[in-house]
Amino acid sequence: MLLVALPLGLHAQGIEDDENPFDASGKKKDYVYLLHADETRFNKNINAYAKVLVGNVSFRHDSLYMYCDSALFYEASNSIDAYGNIRMNQGDTLFLSGEHLMYDGNAMLAKVRENVRMEDPRMVLTTDSLNYDRTINLGYYLDWGMLQDSVNTLTSVWGEYDTKTKDAVFNYEVTLTNKNYVLTGDTLGYNTNSRIATISGPTNIVSDENRIYSERGYYNTGKNHVMLFDRSTWTNGDQRLVGDSLFYDRDKQYGEAFTNVVLDDYKDKTRLTGDYVFYDEVTDSAFATKRAIATEYSRGDSLFLHGDTLKMVTYNNDTDSVVRILRAYRHVRTYRSDMQAVCDSLIFNTKDSCITMFYDPIIWNGAQQVLGEKIYIYLNDSTIKWAHIENQALLVEKLDTTHYNQISGRDIKAYFKDGEIEHADVTGNVQVIYYYREEGDSLLLGMNTTEASMLTAYMSERTVDKLLITKKSNGIFYPLSQAPPEKMKLASFGWFAHIRPLSKEDTLIWRGKKEETKLRTTKRNAVPLPSLKGLQP
């Protein structure tokens, strides 16, 4: 057995023979030391530049220790070719093993081949070909590799790992496998200390519950938190959430989206937009603020609804069918080509397909306007079936800039057909101003004022066609030229065209009634206050 512990091999001659003991930068070279070999051979006829070392061979290069079954030791070039059971240890921070090692002591570069395994206390990297540059603490592979820690398994065609910072970079056919999801992409950064994956490039994250697409962002795989940018997309069944930036908590199963947010429900054919949207997967509930608009497009002609805050809640009722409730709070405005509305607050319940509008609600349908203290709208397949205007009810039909048909009462029940009012029943202290015209002619002939306890108004082509008055108390007919100006408008009259929504974009611009035109205060049912309990983390 031969034990050697001299620099450059078996004797000190190598140091003396080295004409320049300094590297190109002027730093003194660190020599590779042979620590042990069971057997040493040298035959200049076979290899004039290398010593052949066999059996339990070990080397040291500063803080790095290398072990193998056999090696060729090139003293002049300060390099090693090692074979069999390669092991490299650097303190307790790095362990590297394989079957073949090419080590350049001057460049401090190790090339390990076949069954390569690189370990530190937090991860294991396996591949068949790894280069490790000790000058920058970087190991990299060029033909498939796999990094594993206690949480994730990452594979790629090309990858690198910094043993000092614990940063890894993966390129080409990248896959991160977690017990909850699989991430695939072309470029991914990962830190084994923080377990944060950095997304840079087209990336899909797929789980049993949902799918995420992003081209830039961060995934804290330890905490299961995702922060994504650049119009990333989250998809859950028939629902799809997009925003300039997205946050998702996989454990608590909620997501937040910021700026230019779109939440689509393709099954219900609804869309929720705004500059902030919160979505809860567990309860299938969401709310939106900051330029929030809810869109319903099941019938082709979309209905747009805006409120300062929009909240949608989903639950199962007693029959196990899904019920959704939409609540809109403050400055509510809606637009569809055949109907527009404003109010302070609104609730829509799919259980009875009823929309309830609170505090000075107004609805426009063509040249007709209805308002009251509270309005109930009952839908049939997204189309208005009938509406109940409760307390201080007023129906106005604009004939021209001066003349308006007007009906007021305690309650109005308006019945619709094909999106237009077919007839309306008015009860309680009914007051009417109605203009007559020649049949088939638009010329107005006279004005009638009437008071009654009950009235039915029949509509045709969005105009009042006839009135059926029950228990008439009194009525006066005036030829149009003799109609007193003070009699041409009811005390409760108001035509609020200036606050009528004109388009989807106009729903975002609030224009309220003037103070003197607001309804007088009466005892009303309280509006349910907004509650975000159960929706926010």
At 134-151, the pLDDT tens digits run: 999 999 999 999 999 999
Question: Length of the chain, please?
Answer: 537
Mean pLDDT of 49-55: 92
| CATH code, residues 1-111 | 2.60.450.10
Q: Is the distance from CB of 200 to CB of 216 less than 8 angstroms?
A: yes
Mean pLDDT of 75-90: 95
Mean pLDDT of 112-126: 94
Q: Is the distance from CB of 104 to CB of 113 less than 8 angstroms?
A: no
pLDDT above 90 coverage of the chain, percent: 55
Look at residue 1 and tell me whether its pLDDT is greater than 80. Answer: no
Look at residue 199 and tell me whether its pLDDT is greater than 90. Answer: yes
Look at residue 15 and tell me whether its pLDDT is greater than 60. Answer: no
Q: Which of 21-25, 226-230, 409-413, 435-439 has the lowest mean pLDDT?
A: 21-25
pLDDT of residue 2: 31
Beta carbons within 8 Å of 467's beta carbon, 6+ residues apart: 432, 434, 450, 455, 456, 457, 458
| pLDDT grade for 19, boundaries at 50, 70 and 90 | very low
pLDDT of residue 443: 84
pLDDT of residue 6: 34
Pairing of strands 444-460, 463-479: antiparallel
Which pTM was predicted? 0.77
Mean pLDDT of 225-242: 91
Look at residue 260 and tell me whether its pLDDT is greater than 50. Answer: yes
Mean pLDDT of 496-510: 92
Token pair belonging to 467: 């009135």
CA-to-CA distance for 311 and 536, rounded, in angstroms?
Answer: 12
Look at residue 375 and tell me whether its pLDDT is greater than 80. Answer: yes
Supply the DSSP symbol for 14: H
CA-to-CA distance for 258 and 72, rounded, in angstroms?
Answer: 62
Mean pLDDT of 456-471: 76
pLDDT of residue 116: 97
| CATH code, residues 356-516 | 2.60.450
pLDDT of residue 204: 95
Mean pLDDT of 33-40: 95
Mean pLDDT of 166-177: 96
Give the dihedral sign, CA 62/63/64/65: positive
Mean pLDDT of 169-177: 96
Token pair belonging to 63: 């803080």
Look at residue 54 and tell me whether its pLDDT is greater than 70. Answer: yes
| pLDDT grade for 522, boundaries at 50, 70 and 90 | low
pLDDT of residue 176: 97
Q: Which of 98-102, 103-107, 232-236 has the lowest mean pLDDT?
A: 232-236
Question: Pseudo-torsion of CA 148, 154, 158, 161, nearest 10°?
Answer: -40
Q: Where are the domains of the chain?
A: 1-111, 356-516
Look at residue 424 and tell me whether its pLDDT is greater than 50. Answer: yes
Give the dihedral sign, CA 152/158/164/167: negative
**Is residue 357 packed enough to be buried (19+ CB in 10 Å), middle (13-18) or exposed (0-12)?**
buried
Q: Is the distance from CB of 270 to CB of 277 less than 8 angstroms?
A: no
pLDDT of residue 296: 83
Look at residue 379 and tell me whether its pLDDT is greater than 60. Answer: yes
pLDDT of residue 420: 77
Look at residue 329 and tell me whether its pLDDT is greater than 60. Answer: yes
Computed over every residue of the chain, the mean pLDDT equals 86
CA angle 413, 415, 421 (to 5 degrees): 110
Mean pLDDT of 331-356: 89
| pLDDT grade for 537, boundaries at 50, 70 and 90 | very low
CATH topology of 1-111 equal to that of 356-516?
yes
**Is residue 397 packed enough to be buried (19+ CB in 10 Å), middle (13-18) or exposed (0-12)?**
buried
pLDDT of residue 10: 38
Instruction: Annotate 334-347 with b (16+ C-beta within 10 A) or e (fewer).
Output: bbbebbbbbbbbbb
Look at residue 315 and tell me whether its pLDDT is greater than 50. Answer: yes
pLDDT of residue 320: 64
Best CA proximity match to 483, nearest among 448, 450, 437, 452: 448
pLDDT of residue 267: 84
pLDDT of residue 221: 92
pLDDT of residue 57: 97
Look at residue 440 and tell me whether its pLDDT is greater than 50. Answer: yes
Q: Is the distance from CB of 336 to CB of 318 less than 8 angstroms?
A: no
**Which is more confident, 389 or 528?**
389
Look at residue 430 and tell me whether its pLDDT is greater than 50. Answer: yes
Mean pLDDT of 417-432: 85
Beta carbons within 8 Å of 172's beta carbon, 6+ residues apart: 156, 157, 158, 186
**Which is more confident, 117 or 439?**
117
pLDDT above 70 coverage of the chain, percent: 88
pLDDT of residue 149: 93
